[in-house]
Amino acid sequence: MAATFGAENAHLQDRDYVQVYVDGAALSGWKSVSVSRSLTSAAGFFQVEIDPAETLPIQQGQELEVAIGPEGETRLLVGNIDDTDHVHSKRRHSYRATGRDRAGDMVDSAAALKPGTWSNATMSTVLQDLARDAKSRVDLVDVPDVTLTRFAVEPGETAWSAAERIFREQGLMAFSGSEGNLIVTRAGSAPAARVELVYGSNILEARHSVRGQGLFHTYLVRGQQPGTDALFGETAAHVEAQAVDELVRRDRTLEILATGALSQQDAQALVEWEATVRSARADAYTVIVPSSWRQNRPPERVDTGPLWEINQLVRLTHPYLRVDTELLVQQVTFASRPATGNTTTLELVRPDAYQSKPTISPPAPPLTDEEYRDLLEALGSPPP
């Protein structure tokens, strides 16, 4: 089934002809399809609605692929059907299948690896081992393949939870790609969008949403740090840092108890990161781009240009929403429906919504006897 662009664009459908395959066989009779990817979710999501009168119902567990092109040359997603819903009424008879790409198995399944420990292994080696059962490939994009001195899967841990510990420690993020692969990178690493989103040009609908439930006026981080010869008593025992969001009018406070030792400098960096990221993620724009899943510059053909991607920067200009700034694509949803043809829905946030969490510096080791004597000598103090 091809996407519907309207009669005037009927000759432009070839490259954006939508194909759905189930267990490798082309699925006919589908009524609508959507594919979503987000920086907030490890796995991509799909939904396909079919007409039961035209095709046999598809079942939970089957492999499903969404692609575009006359021969399905450009893959958008490959995964498995998680859920099905068969609906019948006087007005409607439909069958809907939803699921996730291959990364979904990493999220759900235990990291069943024996022995599940690595020593002096590269990050890519550990991640590829964790992704093996999900049949997912791991791709590092613009990040070094560091060596992990030691890593072990914890009892009962899923493969994704184990991988997340690596991402947090290295200040990285990960999300699924169109080939069922796992992309490990940093925020904003995808190429900048080749077009701008401009009111009156390539925007069908735009919305600005601010979600205040997770926002606070005051953020507190409390913790402790080990004492040294120069730092002891109350100063070492109690570390506290504060950040204030003046845009939150209500007297709401979030207190975070740090795990492990941290310095006053670390505590301040952590509390400012928490306030900034929460504020940035709560302030989002949703933009619907009509007629295509691609980044086109009107009056270009609708089937030219690269596909929209998550984790890329794009400028949004919309006078009615009072915005003219560069934003980060947090989520992309490709949809194809008879009434609207191909549309792309983009969720945009401030780029600092995904800045890396600050690394807590390890405490300084105590002075050796020799360093201790040298310091006393430099200060002109006799040894005790």
Look up the CATH number of the domain holding residue 111.
Answer: 3.55.50.10
Q: Which of 283, 286, 226, 225 lies closest to 258, judged by CA?
A: 225
Asked whether residue 63 is assigned to any structural domain, the reply reads: yes
Same domain, 50 and 66: yes
Q: Are 145 and 120 in contact (CB under 8 A)?
A: no
- In this prediction, residues 100-109 reach a mean pLDDT of 91
- In this prediction, residues 260-282 reach a mean pLDDT of 88
Asked whether residue 124 is assigned to any structural domain, the reply reads: yes
Asked whether residue 159 is assigned to any structural domain, the reply reads: yes
* Choice among 15-19, 100-104, 289-293 with the minimum mean pLDDT: 15-19
Same domain, 236 and 112: no
Same domain, 120 and 63: no
CATH number of the domain encompassing residue 89: 2.30.300.10
Q: What is the pLDDT of residue 156?
A: 87
Whether residue 272 is predicted with pLDDT greater than 70 in this model: the reply is yes
Q: What is the pLDDT of residue 57?
A: 72
Q: What is the pLDDT of residue 11?
A: 38
Whether residue 313 is predicted with pLDDT greater than 90 in this model: the reply is yes
Q: What is the pLDDT of residue 2?
A: 38
Same domain, 16 and 93: yes
Whether residue 245 is predicted with pLDDT greater than 80 in this model: the reply is yes
Q: What is the pLDDT of residue 5?
A: 32
Same domain, 80 and 161: no
pLDDT over 70 percentage in the chain: 85
Same domain, 234 and 277: yes
15-70 pLDDT, tens digit per residue, is 778 899 999 998 888 889 999 999 998 899 999 999 887 766 788 999 999 998 87
- In this prediction, residues 73-98 reach a mean pLDDT of 90
Range of the domain at 223: 218-281+358-379
Last residue of a domain, one of 66, 101, 136: 101
Q: What is the pLDDT of residue 375?
A: 64
Q: Are 76 and 111 in contact (CB under 8 A)?
A: no
Going by pLDDT thresholds of 50, 70 and 90, the confidence category of residue 3 is very low
Whether residue 98 is predicted with pLDDT greater than 90 in this model: the reply is yes
Same domain, 94 and 110: no
Going by pLDDT thresholds of 50, 70 and 90, the confidence category of residue 236 is low
Asked whether residue 291 is assigned to any structural domain, the reply reads: no
Last residue of a domain, one of 62, 85, 101: 101
Asked whether residue 110 is assigned to any structural domain, the reply reads: yes
Strand intervals (E) in 23-92: 25-26, 30-38, 45-50, 63-68, 74-88
Going by pLDDT thresholds of 50, 70 and 90, the confidence category of residue 170 is confident
Select the more confidently predicted residue: 381 or 257.
Answer: 257
Whether residue 12 is predicted with pLDDT greater than 50 in this model: the reply is no
Same domain, 96 and 118: no
Asked whether residue 170 is assigned to any structural domain, the reply reads: yes
- In this prediction, residues 296-303 reach a mean pLDDT of 70
Q: What is the pLDDT of residue 1?
A: 40
Same domain, 274 and 364: yes
Cα radius of gyration rounded to whole Å, the chain = 26
Same domain, 115 and 162: yes
Q: What is the pLDDT of residue 122?
A: 95
Same domain, 91 and 113: no
* Choice among 2-11, 108-117, 292-301 with the minimum mean pLDDT: 2-11
Report the alpha-carbon distance of residue 126 to residue 171 in Å, rounded. 16
Same domain, 268 and 180: no
Numbers of helices and strands, H then E, in the chain? 6, 21
Asked whether residue 332 is assigned to any structural domain, the reply reads: no
Whether residue 109 is predicted with pLDDT greater than 70 in this model: the reply is yes
Report the alpha-carbon distance of residue 319 to residue 202 in Å, rounded. 14
Last residue of a domain, one of 85, 101, 117: 101
Q: What is the pLDDT of residue 128?
A: 93
Q: What is the pLDDT of residue 228?
A: 54
- In this prediction, residues 137-158 reach a mean pLDDT of 92
Asked whether residue 180 is assigned to any structural domain, the reply reads: yes
361-377 pLDDT, tens digit per residue, is 555 555 677 766 676 67
HSE-CB at 261 with a 13 A cutoff on CA atoms is 13
Q: How many domains does the chain have?
A: 3
